[in-house]
Amino acid sequence: EVVQLPWFRPDEWMENFRLLKPVLLDRTAESIHRHVQDRLREIYRASAFGLWLAAVALCRSLIEFSIHQNADRLGLETRRRTKQNTLLDLPLKVLIAEVAKALPHLTESLDTVKSAGDRVMHAKEGNVLSFPALRREALNCVKATKRVVEDLYLASSQTHAGYDRQHR
């Protein structure tokens, strides 16, 4: 029965899977927060099975979490006190601007993920991911997320002075 269902497309799944590249870090997987590992696995599964909206939403979630997790080591502020003296998380737009100051080479990748993620998470008429282009945009988002995660975790283990992405 499953084989007869319209969404059963193993050839497409294999093609999608072939387009995905592993995240490469300079440390063991065990040293990366479980939340990051779980989200990466889900992003890759969603992408392999053509669940493009889910993959994009997870990418957006993962970059936000990764920024928060690496903020102290990168010297970034991710929360501000309100007038009522409570801590408030900064919006992703502000977090991206902070990361761009510390790691300017990530700006384009961060913007790619935020833009696609916003169109999935905060869809408005005229500003949504369209299904004909959805696969391409989602795969671009996954690639950008891979780049951001690799660089945030790599950069967090090095000093920023002399950090050069080309020497990785």
Per-residue pLDDT of 32-76, as tens digits, reads 889 999 999 999 999 999 999 999 999 999 999 999 999 998 899
- Between the alpha carbon of residue 72 and those of residues 23, 75, 91, 114, 159, the distances in Å are 22, 5, 17, 22, 12
For residue 133, pLDDT over 90 is answered with no
Q: Which of 151, 106, 129 is nearest to 56 (CA)?
A: 129
Tokens of 9: 């497309």
Average pLDDT over residues 111-136: 80
Q: How far, in Å, CA of 84 to CA of 100, rounded? A: 29
Q: Give the residue with greater pLDDT, 39 vs 165.
A: 39
pTM for this predicted structure: 0.83
Q: What percent of the chain has pLDDT over 90?
A: 53
Q: Amino acid identity of 18?
A: R
Contact indicator for 134, 50 with CB cutoff of 8 Å: no
> Which residues are CB-contacts of 99 (< 8 A; sequence separation ≥ 6)?
67, 74, 76, 106, 110, 152
What is the 8-class DSSP label of residue 127?
A: B
Q: Which helix (H) or strand (E) holds 102?
A: helix 92-102
* pLDDT tens-digit series, residues 97-110: 999 999 999 999 99
Tokens 């690799």, residue?
A: 150
